[in-house]
């Protein structure tokens, strides 16, 4: 009897799964997602947030700021270069607080948005922020790297809404170039 009940249960679960994956169900899901994303305008949101994008800084070595392959753009690592031309420097757990690190990550996000805008011409072409790698200049005993990189992630969601939600890694580094506080790279899916 247990084998019959188990077999019948499997049949019922299979049918439920099959019916929930029907083409009509998928179209409804796509329409709901489109309705949530459709009217959101990152260009307008930047203005509402009081963020003005600048001309991206040129690479300092033999690389480029972004590489597009298919519908993906891979953004090179950027740091917290401020409007006055100076970087936020220091190590988390030694020189900087979590709040200062968060702000450094946020500024890095603004710099990445400048690169993305230069590449695309319009941020409305961003379909999804896919993956973020946040590297935090920190002492060996500092373990709040995610709280620092939240400055970047929170900005992407504020600018792109649901399209800004991404997979992420936030890791500590013994040192970063020029003693910058953070360096962050991102992969973005874009519309044709």
Q: Say whether both 114 and 184 belong to one domain.
A: yes
103-116 confidence digits (pLDDT tens): 999 999 999 999 99
Domain that holds residue 57: 42-190
- What SS3 string covers 96-158? ECHHHHHHHHHHHHHHHHHHHHHHHCCHHHEEEEEEEEEEEEECCCCCCHHHHHHHHHHHHHH
Q: Say whether both 99 and 50 belong to one domain.
A: yes
pLDDT at 19 over 90: no
Q: Say whether both 115 and 55 belong to one domain.
A: yes
20-63 confidence digits (pLDDT tens): 444 444 444 333 333 334 578 999 999 999 999 999 988 889 99
Question: CATH code at 122?
Answer: 3.30.1330.40
Total domains in the fold of the chain: 2
Q: How confident is the model at residue 182, as a pLDDT? A: 98
Q: Say whether both 180 and 106 belong to one domain.
A: yes
Q: How confident is the model at residue 38, as a pLDDT? A: 56
């Amino acid at each position: 009897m247990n084998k019959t009940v188990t077999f019948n249960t499997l049949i019922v679960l299979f049918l439920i799964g099959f019916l929930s994956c029907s083409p009509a169900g998928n179209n409804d899901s796509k329409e709901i997602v489109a309705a949530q994303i459709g009217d959101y305008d990152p260009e307008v949101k930047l203005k509402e947030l009081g963020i003005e994008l600048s001309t991206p800084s040129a690479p300092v070595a033999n690389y480029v700021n972004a590489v597009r392959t298919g519908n993906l753009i891979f953004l090179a690592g950027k740091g917290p270069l401020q409007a006055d031309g100076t970087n936020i420097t220091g190590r988390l757990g030694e020189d900087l607080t979590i709040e200062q690190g968060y702000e450094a990550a946020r500024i890095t996000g603004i710099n990445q948005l400048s690169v993305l805008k230069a590449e695309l011409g319009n941020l409305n072409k961003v379909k999804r922020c896919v993956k973020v790698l946040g590297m935090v200049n920190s002492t060996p005993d500092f373990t709040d790297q995610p709280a620092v990189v939240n400055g970047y992630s929170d900005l992407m969601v504020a600018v792109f809404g649901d399209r800004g939600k991404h997979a992420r890694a936030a890791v500590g580094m013994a040192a970063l170039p020029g003693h910058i506080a953070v360096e962050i790279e991102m992969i973005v899916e874009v519309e044709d």
